[in-house]
Amino acid sequence: MNYYSVYHSPIGDLYLFSDSINLTGLYLKDSKYFKKINIGNFLKKEELPIFNLAKRYLESYFNKEKPILTDDILKRLKFNDDEFNDFDKKVYEETLKIKYGRTASYSDIAKKIDINNENKFTSLKVGTSLAKNPFLIIIPCHRVIAKNNDLKGYIGKIENKIKLLTLEDTPLNDKFISFKEEKNIKRRCKWVKENNYLYLHYHDFEWGRKSKDEHYLFIMFILETFQAGLSFEIILNKREAFKKAYDNFDIEKIIKYDEKKINELLKNKNLIRNKLKVKASISNSLIYKEIVDEYSSFYAYLNSFFKDKIIYENDKTTNEYSDKISKDLIKRGMKFVGSTTIYSYLQAVGFISSHSKDCFLYNI
């Protein structure tokens, strides 16, 4: 007799299938391969040992506990030999080696399988194998991306691929999907303007992700202080111009900017030409560096207030954390760092998660 059970996950219902001893499938309900299964041929049963093992793994995974797959599960993954050939199994074997929070490309896997590089279509074949992955999450095909960092291709919808990589704290700010695929994601925060690709990408790949990247934390801090009183979309559209004008946000260079450089920045029509904000960006950078020297990193400084917590809340513009940090920064001599600005910054770099309840990234 064949059995099935259901695990309710943050990306949707996951259906587990078994022959009573082995796991024969793990599919997302909405995936095209699940739709091919005649559920009437299976008896619902929740308490099979293999189901319990798999569900414990999934529970640990979605709780961000970085679970390690053991032989108790791996040796009980049963492939249908009529559907999966030796090449498919080699692809799954290599995919299982990709570590939590990391990614590999289709061509990376292809090279490991086709050592002599005799078949130029091997990367395409890897994609075909992963597209029919019978054990979602367990065989982490969501960690496989294109060589150019395009996230395209996932059996369980692109938004779920982004959710899973986000859950694993995988750096995504250098990743992308096509504008067409971006526009196909419908469940986003209402403030996102879907006709602006930069805005879509910022929401999906950057905003609200807990970042420990010191350079990124500094970049966003400077940009948020320029945002004060403006839409962040304006700042985002000018980010590359800021990056070029501000020496790739090299803090050691910024703290040495003189009147000549200030005038140069004020004449740059691609920037926010507010003299007070430009001057504050320099003086704030000096204080920022002092904080880094004091705490060893700006992340450590911010975390001294949060104690490793992430605050999940919507529809606020300040809270007790932004109040305290703002007060401390002002006391240290910074400008344009009111509680509203700091709250926006904390949202941007993931100390506060504010994706709305109807957004596909809610509470991830």
- Number of compact structural domains in the chain: 2
Q: Which residues pair with 59 in a beta bridge?
A: none
Place of tokens 């790739």: 248
Same domain, 243 and 295: yes
Q: Are 338 and 346 in contact (CB under 8 A)?
A: no
| Ordered DSSP codes for 116-184 | T---TTHHHHHHHHHTT-SBTTTS-GGGEE-TTSB----TT-HHHHHHHHHHTT---TT-B--HHHHHH
Q: Are 161 and 94 in contact (CB under 8 A)?
A: no
pLDDT at residue 119, rounded to an integer: 64
Q: Are 336 and 342 in contact (CB under 8 A)?
A: no
For residue 149, what pLDDT band results from cuts at 50, 70 and 90?
very high
pLDDT at residue 116, rounded to an integer: 59
Domain residue limits at 302: 214-353
Q: State how far the alpha carbon of 205 is from the alpha carbons of 135, 314, 328, 331, in Å.
A: 26, 19, 30, 33
Q: Examine the fold and report which residue of 125, 158, 177 is the final residue of a domain before the chain moves on.
A: 177
Same domain, 110 and 232: no
pLDDT at residue 39, rounded to an integer: 92
| 191 assigned to some structural domain | no
Same domain, 250 and 332: yes
d(CA 355, CA 252): 34
Q: Examine the fold and report which residue of 158, 177, 196 is the final residue of a domain before the chain moves on.
A: 177
Same domain, 150 and 286: no
| Range with lowest mean pLDDT among 7-11, 186-190, 224-228, 319-323 | 186-190
d(CA 320, CA 6): 40
β-strands 311-312, 23-28 pairing = unpaired
Same domain, 288 and 335: yes
Task: Name the residue with higher pLDDT: 185 or 340.
Answer: 340
Same domain, 42 and 129: yes
Q: Which residues pair with 17 in a beta bridge?
A: 4, 25
| 93 assigned to some structural domain | yes
| 364 assigned to some structural domain | no
| 189 assigned to some structural domain | no
| 124 assigned to some structural domain | yes
Same domain, 135 and 227: no
pLDDT at residue 341, rounded to an integer: 96
Give the residue-averaged pLDDT of 4-23.
Answer: 95
| Strand locations in 181-317 (E) | 311-312
Whether the predicted pLDDT of 266 surpasses 80: yes
d(CA 303, CA 305): 5
Whether the predicted pLDDT of 26 surpasses 60: yes
For residue 180, what pLDDT band results from cuts at 50, 70 and 90?
confident
pLDDT tens sequence across 290-308: 999 999 999 999 999 999 9
Extract the tokens encoding 15: 């259906």
Same domain, 83 and 226: no
pLDDT tens sequence across 203-234: 999 999 989 999 999 999 999 999 988 888 99
Longest C-alpha distance within the chain, in Å?
80
Same domain, 152 and 236: no
CATH code at position 230: 1.10.340.30
Give the residue-averaged pLDDT of 161-179.
Answer: 89
pLDDT tens sequence across 239-264: 999 999 999 999 999 999 999 999 99
Whether the predicted pLDDT of 118 surpasses 60: no
Whether the predicted pLDDT of 94 surpasses 90: yes
pLDDT at residue 117, rounded to an integer: 58
Helix (H) or strand (E) holding 286: helix 275-295
For residue 282, what pLDDT band results from cuts at 50, 70 and 90?
very high
pLDDT tens sequence across 30-62: 888 888 889 999 999 988 999 999 999 999 999
Same domain, 258 and 329: yes
Give the residue-averaged pLDDT of 101-118.
Answer: 84
pLDDT at residue 28, rounded to an integer: 93
CATH code at position 79: 1.10.10.10
Same domain, 168 and 251: no
Give the residue-averaged pLDDT of 324-340.
Answer: 98
Q: Is 362 helix (H, G, I), strand (E, B) or coil?
A: coil
From the list 316, 133, 344, 134, the residue with the least C-alpha distance to 233 is 344
pLDDT tens sequence across 348-363: 999 999 999 999 898 8
Same domain, 154 and 244: no
